[in-house]
Amino acid sequence: MADDLQMARAVQDAALATEGVASLGTGRWAEAATYGAGEKVTGVVVSPDEVRVHIVANYPPPESLQALAERVRERVASRAGGRPAMVVVEDIEVVRDENL
């Protein structure tokens, strides 16, 4: 369990450090999180079969949403312990333009 939490935190950090990611999502129909003793890492689901990260993308994104998701997947894959990494683009957040 502690290893899952460490992995979830590493995946969370990698996803949030990716340009174009505003935040991590919480899930739509079920909460997207990894749980441990007294701790929850929201936006990352670590299971025995895969690691899934739910992102909220900035809009407009620096590239297509598909390309952004692939870039996030590449970043988190190295922290997924050999498990397949899945990226869910859960929502978009409009970036406020100070020039408007």
Q: What is the pLDDT of residue 29?
A: 86
Residue 3 has pLDDT above 70, yes or no: yes
Contact assessment for residue 89 and residue 55, using Cβ atoms and an 8 Å cutoff: yes
Q: Round to whole Å and give the CA distance between 100 and 91.
A: 23
The model carries a pTM of: 0.90
CATH class of 2-94: alpha beta
Q: Round to whole Å and give the CA distance between 34 and 40.
A: 6
Contact assessment for residue 2 and residue 36, using Cβ atoms and an 8 Å cutoff: yes
Residue 2 has pLDDT above 60, yes or no: no
Residue 100 has pLDDT above 70, yes or no: no
Q: What is the pLDDT of residue 28?
A: 86
Task: From 78, 77, 60, 80, select the one nearest 19 (Cα to Cα).
Answer: 60
Residue 92 is encoded by which pair of tokens? 């978009």
Q: Where are the domains of the chain?
A: 2-94
